[in-house]
Amino acid sequence: MKDPQPAIHHAAADGYKGAADTYVRGRPDYPPALDQWLRTCLGLQAGQVAVDLGAGTGKFTGRLLATGARVIAVEPVAQMRARLAARYPQAEALGGTATSIALADESVDAVVCAQAFHWFASHEALSEIARVLKPGGRLGLVWNLRDARVPWVQRLDRIVNALQGDTPRYYTGAWRQAFPHPSFTPLQEQHFRNSHSGAPQNVIFDRVRSTSFIAALPDAQRAEVDRQIAALIAEEPELRDKCVVSVPYETAAFWAHKIP
């Protein structure tokens, strides 16, 4: 285990401190098909130990608990970790990062990074994950991504992506540069359709506001983002004057085994 307090990206450190409540409201759930994926591809079941790495407010923690496995949630941002601990007291919530996991060597059966691996994708992080995994243990990576094949979603993504700066994002594919890694088999992947339905205030406005680099903006810039989104909604027939809207997503799931 390395230094217990390594730095995390400034967008996560600054943005997520004050966005825990918005994150809970705005982030989509994961598709039911992932329940079977966790059992078949990651082999999770009662009697095993799973780490939810970069667990945030616990959006994925409940999925892991439902497998019957013991769940250890590791999250560096205290405000996010507090929300997780309050919601899932049956999970063990620990501070830490992907390069400093406070667990013994070869002590867990699976490590899952849901909506998180792009933050710390590196050879060093994979080596630390491999350290805590048992021989043959499994690594799972999961992301929800808005389906930009839908024209209005493309417009929304342009508003958001214009402000990302140096923030790591899944859609760029830069996270793949951490692979191959000598401790893991080649990544396998599966994709699932998903959607997030609800009031525009939650599934569009709060989803964007929960984005790390948006949450870290000064008030005036956040207000400008809200203005642009309001204009988009007013101009799009699928969204205009709707009390409930559905945002299409694709869920990508990747897995690999630790080489014994």
Residue 156 lies in a domain: no
| Residue 41 belongs to some domain of the structure | yes
101 vs 13, 24, 92, 260, CA distance in Å?
18, 25, 13, 20
**Does some domain include residue 106?**
yes
Please indicate whether residue 6 or residue 28 has the higher confidence score (pLDDT). Answer: 28
Structure tokens, 161: 């992506």
User: Which candidate, 84, 59, 72, 58, places its Cα nearest to that of 110?
Assistant: 72
Q: Please check whether residue 212 lies inside any domain of the structure.
A: no
Task: Tell me the per-residue pLDDT of 156-170, one tens digit each, with 9 for 90 and over.
Answer: 999 999 999 999 999
- The whole-angstrom distance between residue 172's C-alpha and the CA centroid of its chain comes to 15
Q: Is residue 18 part of a domain?
A: yes
Residue 108 lies in a domain: yes
* Structural domains in the chain (count): 1
Domain encompassing residue 38: 10-146+168-196+250-257
Q: Nearest to residue 195, comparing CAs of 237, 153, 240?
A: 153
- Judge whether 204 lies within some domain: no
Instruction: Kindly report the CATH number assigned to the domain that includes residue 136.
Output: 3.40.50.150
In whole angstroms, give the CA distance from residue 155 to residue 232. 8
Helix (H, G, I), strand (E, B) or coil at 180: coil
What confidence tens digit (pLDDT) does each residue in 58-103 have?
Answer: 999 999 999 999 999 999 999 999 999 999 999 999 999 999 999 9
Beta strands in the chain, from DSSP E residues, in sequence order: 49-53, 70-74, 92-94, 108-114, 133-146, 188-198, 245-257
Residue 64: CB atoms within 10 Å: 27
Residue 5 has pLDDT above 60, yes or no: no
Residue 15 has pLDDT above 80, yes or no: no
What does pTM read for this prediction? 0.90
Asked whether residue 98 is assigned to any structural domain, the reply reads yes
